Structure 1
Amino acid sequence: MGKRHLEDAIKRINQPVEVTYRCFELDPTIGRDVKGNIYDALARKYGMSVAQAKANTQNVVQMAKRVGLDYQMDTLILTNTFDAHRLTMFAKTQGLMKEMTERILHAYFTESKHIGDHETLTQLAVEVGLDREAVEKMLASDEMADAVRGDQQTAKQIGVTGVPFFLIDQKYALTGAQPTDVFVQVMEKVISENKIVVLNNDDGMICDENGCEIPKK
């Protein structure tokens, strides 16, 4: 949801904005094949009942609907996402990180695909235009693992503890799925701060392609 709000904000400010996705695992210790569902996992993590976990999650589902996202939490497949992150970093080297990230998120939250499974990841990669053999070779190796861990170390140094987390212009941080207006305000602030301010008056000599104009006293 935060990603969608950011995208809407970028459209509103009508300024060129470069977005870079970074890797972060909420639970690096989770296995690839997990028994149980998201409600069981949330209940254990936060010490609540499964019914409470389901009610809280449904609130998230409704929020997602308001921005055009279809979250199918009942059938969501929990898994370790390290290989999915490796795939996004590989896609980055091919100029397809945005497309790969979007495809994986949709596969996970809406299509209930197993994004820890290599065959599933390979198929998703092919759909966005990556070479099947190259992806299979990458997933079968440790390629891009250092890149993922590098992002995670940077996140630790910054103090990231959850997602979504947005770092804008390397100095303003936003946490959580903030409303579109908040993103607009921050980006407008950055744009304003980055504008060149002329401190002197126009009494000095000015030169252009036509020569120099000496100021009149």
Structure 2
Amino acid sequence: MKQLDHPVEVTYRCFELDPTMGRDIKENIYEGLAKKYGMSIAQAKANTQRMVQMAKEAGLDYQMDTLILTNTFDAHRLTMYAKHKGLMKEITERILHAYFTESKHIGEHKTLTELAVEVGLNREDVEKMLASDDMSDVVRADEQTAKQYGVTGVPFFLINKKYALTGAQPTETFVQALKKVIAEDQITVLNSEDGLNCDEDGCEIPNK
């Protein structure tokens, strides 16, 4: 985005890789992947290690050995709540850091509340929201939209509801994709400048 001389708005959407997952899971990430994809623990660790290395190259510290698997529906609800408060990016980044780096249990309301307070949300309001079903419809609406677009995994980037980028892509791929979309959005004047031009002050007839 810094390489583009054009405004770009980023909006996070909700998507659960496994909506059926429970809140308290005994399996670790490697056991969960092995079970889901029918691979060995060793294969799961090898695949995960590649992701850890990619994260490291991007300046992220992923602690997969101590990561706590859990259901993320309430974390998504909190993100949608924060969106209405203008803190969507902040809470999303905080939750992801808590999950991947700090090994926090983001399925617990107590943990989510503490993270919310850290980014500037009101404790009592967040506790009340989490204890209710607020934002559930918003999360499910996002997930339904994802189905309509054929999203089956993350990351998935949709640009102007027209172009999609899937998987972890290098920066240059995003730059080129955004430049393409920006160019297509620009208005191309097909006729010459000669013609009757009108504005709020009236019309000007060009000199012939």
Is residue 150 of structure 1 aligned with residue 141 of structure 2? yes
Identify which of 64, 70, 77 aligns with 2:61: 70
CA positional deviation for 1:67: 0.7
Would you say 1:88 and 2:51 are equivalent positions? Answer: no
User: Cα RMSD (Å) of the superposition?
Assistant: 1.3
Task: Return the match for 2:194 from 203, 212, 215.
Answer: 203
Aligned partners of 2:52 and 2:97: how far apart in 1? Answer: 14
Deviation per CA, 1:29-52: give whole Å up to 9, x if none. 110000021001111111111111
Shift of 1:13: 1.1
Residues 211, 156 of structure 1: CA spacing in aligned structure 2 closer, same or farther, 3 A cutoff?
closer
Q: Is contact 2:196-2:203 (8 Å) kept?
A: no
Partner of 1:185: 176
Structure 2 unmatched runs, 5+:
none
Deviations 1:161-194 (A, max 9, x none): 0011111011001111111111111110111001
| TM-score using structure 2 length | 0.96
Alignment TM-score, normalising by the size of structure 1:
0.92
Query: 1:205, CA displacement in angstroms?
Result: 3.6
Given that 2:24 and 2:70 are in contact with CA atoms closer than 8 Å, whether structure 1 keeps it comes out as yes
Q: Tell me, which stretches of 5 or more residues in structure 1 are unaligned?
A: 1-9
With CA pairs under 8 Å and 6+ residues apart, which has the higher RCO, 1 or 2?
1
Counterpart in the other structure of 1:15: 6
Counterpart-to-counterpart distance in 2, 1:174 and 1:34: 31
Q: Does 1:212 align with 2:165?
A: no
**Runs of 4+ off more than 2 Å:** 205-215
Count, aligned residues: 207
Quote the residue 2:98 is aligned against.
Answer: 107
CA distance in 1, matches of 2:203, 2:32: 73
Maintained 8 Å contact 1:204/1:215? no
